């Protein structure tokens, strides 16, 4: 059903866009459409961007915050693309729509910040324009592979296909996560990572399946698996040295977040402060956060 904006709704809409890590990320094959099949266990984090949508303003995207660098402030921004597609579906317009992103999630770090921003904009505008949850989900899938997880509520979930087939799982208990964000990334990161995986055996989905069937409880570093780790340390300059130093200092398993280059640790409350301190003096930003339950 096509609908117009409701004049009684406030001119400013606000929301938060949480980050994510992949507790499990398996790449299981190459699809006929050129994309890759994945089987992944996603976990939302309390670390989040602030998102503001304003009507009656100069249209476009503005970005600020600690991690604004690297986030596009033009029509290529996923949040703006999401707004345009949803507007077309709802019979609305974006010619007086402004989106402001206060970035606490590092851009292009494997933490899903851009996809989460887009999902939050879809949810805010969807309520404003009267879009159904089905329409919002369809637009999320049109924007990319990752927004579907955030639109579905985040928390702990399994995603398959390109990432659009999302199945919520019982939330893991709240527990600390420490992120180590390198100072730089590489161009065409995701495409290069997938291309490198084409030269090694694909995963079979068994790790994701086992995680999905596990009894609810705290996640240990030993349960984390990311198939991209087979190629990431060869593609990102300096990442292998950072990873080795962190594991040496902490005595714990440190893993790749998504397609990287962010590294992360998950474990118990008593160890979190020491794990974070281990990043001191290294060429990375250290961010302490926690897991986030499904909304």
Query: What six digits make up the tokens of 145?
Result: 């592979």
Angle separating helix axes 113-129 and 133-143, nearest 10 degrees: 150
Distance, CA of 259 to CA of 247 (rounded, Å): 19
Q: What b/e readout covers 250-287, taking b as 16+ CB neighbours within 10 angstroms?
A: bebebbbbbbbbbbbbbbeeeebeebbebbeebebbeb
Question: Nearest to residue 138, comparing CAs of 127, 153, 124, 151?
Answer: 151
Helix/strand/coil for 232: helix
Q: Which of 39, 146, 189, 203 is catalytic?
A: 146
Bridge-based pairing state of the strands 36-55 and 60-64? unpaired
Query: What six digits make up the tokens of 30?
Result: 């190459």
Q: Which of 20, 103, 117, 203 is catalytic?
A: 20
H/E element, 17: strand 12-30
Catalytic-residue membership of 146: yes
Catalytic-residue membership of 33: no
Q: Are 11 and 134 in contact (CB under 8 A)?
A: no
Distance, CA of 202 to CA of 227 (rounded, Å): 8
Residue 69 CB burial class (10 angstroms; 0-12, 13-18, ≥19): exposed
Please identify every residue annotated as catalytic: 20, 146
């Amino acid at each position: 059903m096509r609908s117009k904006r409701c004049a009684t709704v406030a001119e400013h809409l606000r929301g938060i866009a949480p980050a994510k890590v992949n507790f499990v990320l398996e790449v299981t094959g190459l699809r006929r459409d050129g994309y890759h099949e994945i089987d992944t266990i996603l976990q939302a984090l309390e670390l989040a961007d602030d998102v503001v949508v304003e009507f009656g303003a100069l249209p476009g995207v503005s970005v600020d915050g600690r991690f604004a660098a690297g986030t596009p402030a033009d029509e290529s921004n996923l949040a703006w693309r999401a707004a345009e597609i949803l507007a077309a579906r709802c019979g609305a317009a974006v010619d007086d729509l402004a989106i402001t992103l206060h970035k606490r999630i590092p851009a292009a770090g494997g933490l899903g910040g851009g996809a989460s921003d887009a999902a939050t904009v879809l949810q805010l505008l969807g309520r404003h324009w009267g879009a159904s949850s089905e329409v919002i989900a369809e637009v999320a899938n049109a924007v990319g592979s990752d927004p579907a997880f955030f639109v579905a509520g985040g928390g702990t979930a399994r995603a398959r296909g390109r990432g659009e087939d999302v199945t919520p799982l019982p939330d893991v208990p709240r527990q600390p996560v420490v992120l180590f964000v390198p100072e730089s990334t590489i161009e065409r990161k995701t495409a290069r990572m997938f291309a490198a995986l084409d030269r090694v055996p694909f995963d079979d989905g068994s790790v994701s399946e086992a995680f999905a069937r596990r009894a609810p409880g705290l996640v240990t570093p030993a349960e984390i698996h990311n198939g991209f780790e087979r190629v990431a340390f060869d593609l990102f300059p300096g990442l292998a040295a950072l990873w080795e130093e962190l594991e040496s200092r902490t005595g714990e398993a440190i893993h790749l977040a998504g397609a990287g280059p962010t590294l992360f640790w998950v474990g118990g409350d008593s160890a979190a402060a020491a794990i974070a301190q281990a990043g001191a003096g290294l060429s990375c930003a250290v961010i302490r956060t926690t897991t986030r339950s499904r909304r």
